[in-house]
Structure 1
Amino acid sequence: MLPTISQHSNGSLGSRDAARHTAGAKRYKYLRRLLHFRQMDFEFAAWQMLYLFTSPQRVYRNFHYRKQTKDQWARDDPAFLVLLSIWLCGKFGVIMMMFQYMGILETLKLLLWVVFIDCIGVGLLISTLMWVISNKYLLKHPSREFDVEWGYAFDVHLNAFYPLLVILHFLQLFFINHLMMIKSDWFVGYFVGNTLWLIAISYYLYITFLGYNALPFLKNTVVLLYPFAPLALLYILSISLGWNFTQGLCWFYKYRVQ
């Protein structure tokens, strides 16, 4: 005769299992792994960074697999965040080469701005906004069982932010440092610079759309592609009026450290 589990025992197991999957438990597990580098899968995180450029759909298929195996959509491994932090430090080094006149105080101010405002502050703001919008307006059947995890919203932002970071804060700054024409008032300069902005923001919007479209309990995720229309209009307008977004970026960081 097969052993049986009483209704009371089953409920107790369900309660303990639910407790292990609360937002607090997931957050604790994630933060704890930040202190154990040997437990992080940096090779897999690097693979994700590569495929965010070549095939972002494959990255989100992995998120779906994690949901099936670990009962959560969000990453439980902070390796991607650690590698992104390294990229941010690299970005900071490039900016340092551009603004060689900076002293110790200016250098520290720029570093704090890049880490706590550009990365963490903006990321928390956008993630929270998308988390609220998706749970309030995009759920097919609103319930506690099917909702968007805040951690997943933050992961989607990180996925979309990484290509934007590489294009605007590495590729573009490299051209600024070696081809000063890109931040000049010449047509070719602001055409190339603004085109890089268009590509970067388009990448961000598209990867964000893929992230929420991958969730089977969301509807009307195509609305996340609507910003492409005003983005294209803004790009055409900037070229027509000679607005140089790259020049504005340089001025912005210059006055941040003064």
Structure 2
Amino acid sequence: MSFFGNLSKKAVEKVYDLASKVEGGNDYLISATNTVNTLVKGTDPRVYLKHGNIIQFISRTSGRSIQIVLSRTNQLICNAIGGTGSQYTNACWVVISNQNGHYYFHNNNNFLGIQYGQVVIIPSSINQYPPREAEFRVHDVLGSAHAIYLESVRTPGYFIGFNWNGEPCQQIKIETREKFAQFEIHPISRWSNTQPELINTRADTFDPSAPPSYWEATNELNNQTRTDHRSN
């Protein structure tokens, strides 16, 4: 068997042609990119994307995690200014995988999704199927051992993205490599038999309590930043 296994030469060439691009809506090409990237870099960014695992997404622009907060109008929204570790319960996401190799991510049955071209939180319940707008393809960032993109299956070409301030990007339809749509996975726990096994040494338990308000979360982050500056 060749170095690239069952991948055709044309598929491999296509993957490297896309080194500066992102092509949405193509499961085969995504799989080829993952295989090539894993062989070249020696690691697979999707290793923690197992059904039932609890993870966090760290934005490559803000350097913070995606979290759920309450808006001034008591609507659930998300931003990328959350903390890292299981103590930040509103920044923890449970992984759901399906037979198509796609994924859903929820916090207490509130799903990360894309609706009408915008990054949103979609409330659901344990008795409902995950919302269609919350189904994602996971792309490798070619050349990176850790980074991924999250593309909407319902609206191909649209990707989860946050700006440098951690706010959802207004334009999330992309065709070229964009840092605002890149995330690294921080594992919190993995599902082992019937119990979650913690793999974050700073973690105690996962508490799906209600998230703080957006303004509370923002003020806490600003206070932490000022404290860090004073200590330096």
- TM-score of the superposed pair, with normalisation by structure 2: 0.29
Q: Which has the larger radius of gyration?
A: 1
Structure with greater helix percent: 1
Structure with greater strand percent: 2
Bigger relative contact order, structure 1 or 2 (CA pairs below 8 A, ≥6 apart): 2
- TM-score of the superposed pair, with normalisation by structure 1: 0.26
